[in-house]
Amino acid sequence: MSSFTSPRAGIVCLDLQRNRQAGEGAAPGLEPTLDMCRRVLGEARRRRWPVLHVHSRHAAPVDERPISGLEPRPSEPVFVRQGPSAFSSPGFARAAAALGGPLALIGFSLHDTVLATAFAAADRHLDVDVLSNAVWGGSEPVDDALLAPLRALAPQARVVEVADLFRDDQGAFAAANLP
């Protein structure tokens, strides 16, 4: 079972870009998800946990800037993915391998980028925790049908809530990641 005991675990912010927000902004439940992403990012930074940002690049002109309050800091790497998974970025694949996992996934969108990234991590023998209340699931809150493929990846993938990550794993993760 995945647990934040590795000294090289990290938070992965997937596609927290304005074009994703605008495309699904009218859907119910988006703002609570974004608020939870802001909470995770803020708490991870406060605890000095590694943070990796992954953005998608589009051929058509869209607003690819980060969503307000979820902007990367200069010390946080930003990787550009071309395919459905964060691992389609060679730089991200190298950084994730160097961290060794587990990776906590937040952001857009469970039915595409999050699932693809979780499966690609499993192929690389990296554990992932999908923070279900910090991942956008589409027009509805994240439901069991969308989570079933992730649960099939157990024990390499866990579906947890943000509170569980910070309550259950904070001591080991924080101690392992001290400078």
pLDDT per residue as tens digits for the range 129-163 = 999 889 887 655 566 667 778 788 878 888 888 88
52 occurs within a structural domain: yes
- At residue 66, the 3 state secondary structure works out as strand
1 occurs within a structural domain: no
5 occurs within a structural domain: no
The pLDDT score that the predictor gives to residue 178 is 52
Residue 35, domain extent: 10-176
3 occurs within a structural domain: no
94 occurs within a structural domain: yes
* Tally of domains within the chain: 1
Q: Could you list the pLDDT tens digit for every one of the 179 residues in the chain?
A: 444 444 467 999 999 987 766 654 445 568 888 999 999 999 999 988 999 999 988 656 566 788 889 999 999 999 999 999 999 999 999 999 999 878 999 998 888 899 999 999 999 999 999 998 898 876 555 666 677 787 888 788 888 888 888 775 555 455 445 55
Phi/psi for 131 (5° steps) reads: -85, 95
Model pTM?
A: 0.83
55 occurs within a structural domain: yes
E strand intervals along the chain = 10-14, 51-56, 78-81, 103-107, 128-135, 157-160
Measured between alpha carbons, how far is 155 from 1 in angstroms, rounded to an integer? 5
We report the CATH number of the domain holding residue 49 as 3.40.50.850
Q: Which pair of tokens denotes residue 171? A: 């001591």
Measured between alpha carbons, how far is 15 from 21 in angstroms, rounded to an integer? 9
